């Protein structure tokens, strides 16, 4: 068995464990640059839980890499950006989520790349953006923005008007994640739009607090509206 395959299986076993979150520290046994390849591969795992846990592990690994040397981390971020480029030929699954997790966990990366992450939802020809036409890829960008907003809300301000627009997105995941992000931001201007979604029973899988659960658009909108009202 090749060293890459063996490492990938070892990492997968850690992520598959019931106490996977506590075991993430075990990844420090390997140089972070060695882990990025296996983690990219695990973003395509058949198990949804493993895919999301790989996103969190990727964020930690990117942060470790940045602590070792920012230039190495910049190369990794550029690799992520390339994978979302149509010319790359890659599908890009899990990549916006990985960028969001990385930026949430490292301030230096966040300050350099938050505008790139936000630009993936900029649906405005007059504004420089990298809009992701594919709804499911775009869903990853909304999740990544919400993840970053949990830690560094000021850095997602450029995305705020486009999060508002996304409350009317055709994809339920995008509507729900936009509502979640707007709630985190305490966006008072979103209150009427959030209330309008209260009866939206469309559901999608949401990774939050280390678990994948079914969430409804309406439930997230009501939660967000409650946060906005309390912060007003």
DSSP letter string over 134-195? Answer: SHHHHHHHHHHHHHHHHH-GGGGGGGHHHHHHHTT-SSHHHHHHHHHHHHHHT-GGGHHHHH
Same domain assignment for residues 24 and 80: yes
CB atoms within 10 A of CB 116: 17
Question: Which of 141, 158, 175 is the C-terminal boundary of a domain?
Answer: 158
Number of domains the chain contains: 2
Find out whether 111 and 147 touch, Cβ atoms under 8 Å: no
Question: Which of 158, 179, 209 is the C-terminal boundary of a domain?
Answer: 158
Which domain does 176 fall in, by range? 167-232
Same domain assignment for residues 153 and 104: yes
Same domain assignment for residues 213 and 152: no
Q: What is the pLDDT along the chain (232 residues), one digit of tens a residue?
A: 568 999 999 999 999 999 999 999 999 999 999 999 999 999 999 999 999 999 999 999 999 999 999 999 999 999 999 999 866 556 799 999 999 999 999 999 999 999 999 999 998 777 767 899 999 999 999 999 999 999 999 999 999 999 999 999 999 999 999 999 999 999 999 999 999 999 999 999 999 999 999 999 999 999 999 999 998 7
Question: Which of 158, 193, 212 is the C-terminal boundary of a domain?
Answer: 158
Same domain assignment for residues 186 and 222: yes
Cα-based distances in Å from 153 to 135, 158, 193: 24, 10, 20
Same domain assignment for residues 88 and 117: yes
Q: What is the pTM (predicted TM-score) of this model? A: 0.95
């Amino acid at each position: 068995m090749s060293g890459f395959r063996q490492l990938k299986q070892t990492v997968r076993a850690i992520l598959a464990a019931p106490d996977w979150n506590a075991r993430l520290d075990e990844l420090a046994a390997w140089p972070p640059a060695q882990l990025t390849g296996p983690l990219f591969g695990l973003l395509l795992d058949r198990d949804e839980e493993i895919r999301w846990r790989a996103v969190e592990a990727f964020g930690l690994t990117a942060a470790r890499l940045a602590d070792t040397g920012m230039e190495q981390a910049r190369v990794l971020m550029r690799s992520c950006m390339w994978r979302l480029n149509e010319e790359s030929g890659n599908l890009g699954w899990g990549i916006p989520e990985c960028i969001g997790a990385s930026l949430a966990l490292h301030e230096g990366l966040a300050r350099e790349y938050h505008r790139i992450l936000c630009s993936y939802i900029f649906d405005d020809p007059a504004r420089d953006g990298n809009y992701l036409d594919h709804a499911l890829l775009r869903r990853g960008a909304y999740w990544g923005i919400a993840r970053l907003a949990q830690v560094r809300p000021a850095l997602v301000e450029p995305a705020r008007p486009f999060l508002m627009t996304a409350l009317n997105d055709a994809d339920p995941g995008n509507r729900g994640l936009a509502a979640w992000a707007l709630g985190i931001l305490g966006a008072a201007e979103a209150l009427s739009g959030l209330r309008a979604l209260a009866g939206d029973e469309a559901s999608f899988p949401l990774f939050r607090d280390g678990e994948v659960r079914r969430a409804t658009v309406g439930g997230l909108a009501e939660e967000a509206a409650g946060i906005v009202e309390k912060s007003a």
